[in-house]
Structure 1
Amino acid sequence: MAALDLFGRRWSLRVLWELRHEPLGFRLLQQRCDGMSSSVLRQRLTELQEARLAERLSDGSYALTALGQDAHQALRPLTEWSRRWAAELELGP
């Protein structure tokens, strides 16, 4: 349940999503997250680091850890479903 609590917090999944391919600096990550407030982004990054899903690299950028990559892989079926769902919504009744 702790994972669901973490993933259920606003922006947590978005931060994981944005870090899925490459490390990102704070400002670029904030831009990719539609300009979320810096205080919220810092909080989410702290939570993800405490959960060992993300880490801050020596250059100051943020990246997913091996556990974070595992979490991303675990969420892939949800991503696939959401694409089908969005397509169905566009088709209408």
Structure 2
Amino acid sequence: MAALDLFGRRWNLRILWELRDGPLGFRPLQQRCDGMSSSVLQQRLTELQETLLVERDVNGAYRLTALGRDAHAELRGLVSWADRWATELDRHPSARPAAEP
């Protein structure tokens, strides 16, 4: 359940997703995450480092660890499902997920 709590926190999955192609510095990562606040990004990166999914390289950029790459590999199935779900929702305009508060 700890993994669900970690991945359920806003932005954590997005950060893992954005690091999928390789290391990114803080500002480029922030831009890819729709300009989230620097304080929130710093909190999430600290959390992901403490849980061994993200690390900083010698240049100070953030990258996925081996465990982080494993998590990303597992998330690809969720992305495939999300694409199928979006297609189905488009076919049924009355069916929409609830908006976030």
**What's the TM-score bracket when you normalise by the shorter of the two chains?**
over 0.9
The structure that has the greater radius of gyration is 2
- Aligned equivalent of 1:12: 12
- The Cα offsets for residues 3-59 of structure 1, whole Å up to 9 and x where unpaired, read as 111100000000000001110010000000000000000000001000100001111
Q: Matches of 2:24 and 2:91 in 1, distance apart?
A: 36
1:92, distance to aligned residue in structure 2 (A): 2.2
Q: Matches of 2:31 and 2:86 in 1, distance apart?
A: 24
2:55 paired with 1:51: no
Paired residues in the alignment total 93
Q: Matches of 1:32 and 1:91 in 2, distance apart?
A: 30
Q: Give the number of the structure with larger relative contact order, counting CA–CA contacts within 8 Å between residues 6 or more apart.
A: 1
- Aligned equivalent of 2:97: none
Structure 1 residues without counterparts, runs of 5 or longer: none
- Aligned equivalent of 2:74: 74
Q: Matches of 2:36 and 2:68 in 1, distance apart?
A: 21
| Identical pairs, percent | 72
Name the aligned partner's letter for residue 29 of structure 1.
L
Structure 2 residues without counterparts, runs of 5 or longer: 94-101
Q: Matches of 1:58 and 1:76 in 2, distance apart?
A: 28
- Aligned equivalent of 1:31: 31
Aligned-residue RMSD, C-alpha: 0.9
